Amino acid sequence: MRSLPTWANFNGERRLRHCQAIKEPARAPKTRAPASCSTPRAHRVKPAIGANLIYFAMACLLPMNRRGWHLAGEHLSAAGGGVFFALQRLLPCLSGKFPSTYGKNRALPMHIRPIHADEGLRLRALRLRALSEAPAAFGSTLAREEAFAEAIWHERAAKGAAGIDVATMVADQDGRWVGLASGLCCGEEDAPARSALLVGMFVEAQARRRGVGRALLEGVSAWARSRQCLRLALWVTAGNAPAIALYHRCGLARTGARRANAHTPTLVEFKMARELS
């Protein structure tokens, strides 16, 4: 084999000494990340992956002796280790399984289920919280429903659990309710076929953008199909952009019907619907 040129040998020796220094951390000064760096040390991607790959490619193009091939192997090993480190950190994040430092943001198991007949007081608590947080999104008011007797809430829960003409779905996250939606099986004036009306949709702020709203809507849709309903409709406030975007993603479209909000006539609601196949 031919020997490397003088400049290549010099660079090779320098890189070899550098690799040996990496293998012997006791001889190398310890460095710490700057105090202003907010990225956890365990999640920093090792640098010089590209540089090591470039060195390896150059080594493959130049005539090499035994020491040169050894040095090329060092570069390839360093690059491969960096790639493995990066994939080890990035792939779990892409699949939704975040590292342990992000454990507090990990979503708990979500269960969409019909309400139980004995859960009237839990229904009251979540409904009043919904009316308090988003008063413009509903046709009723907090003051009106706070005055309801407990018997009314027990009756609502019993009807929602029976699922005959009314069904109530709840999003149960590890024993805590974070979402609610009801369906009414009835005919519509502008639709000759039997239809279901989605009402009372609510998802708590910390549970939004996790698919809870879509799951509740699909749960009501499944119940409506079981009652031989051919259409699902709802009314939404014109300024409620997040809800409108959700309903569009679920396949609902505007029908052209409009009306004023029951308790605030200045608010306009429009109707959205989709066919249930």
Q: pLDDT for 62-105, tens place per residue?
A: 555 555 555 656 655 655 555 555 555 545 444 444 333 333 44
Question: What is the percent of the chain with per-residue pLDDT over 70, rounded to a whole number?
Answer: 58
Lowest mean pLDDT among 30-34, 200-204, 244-248: 30-34
Nearest-5° Cα angle at 144, 139 to 145:
85
Q: For residues 81 and 64, give the distance between their C-alpha atoms in angstroms, rounded to a whole number.
A: 23
- Which residue segments constitute the domains of the chain, with CATH numbers given? 6-105 (no CATH), 110-275 (3.40.630.30)
Binned at pLDDT 50, 70 and 90, residue 269 comes out as: very high
Structure tokens at 101: 């430092």
Torsion angle, alpha carbons of 87, 93, 97, 101, to 10? 100
Question: What is the percent of the chain with per-residue pLDDT over 90, rounded to a whole number?
Answer: 52
Sequential DSSP letters for 218-269: HHHHHHHHHTT--EEEEEEETT-HHHHHHHHHTT-EEEEEEEE-SS-TTSEE
Mean pLDDT, residues 117-134: 96
Q: Which residue has the higher pLDDT, 165 or 64?
A: 165
Output the pTM of the full model. Answer: 0.61
Residue 167 main-chain phi, psi, to 5 deg? -140, 140
Return the SS3 of 148: coil
Lowest mean pLDDT among 70-74, 133-137, 174-178, 181-185: 70-74
Q: For residues 7 and 247, give the distance between their C-alpha atoms in angstroms, rounded to a whole number.
A: 67
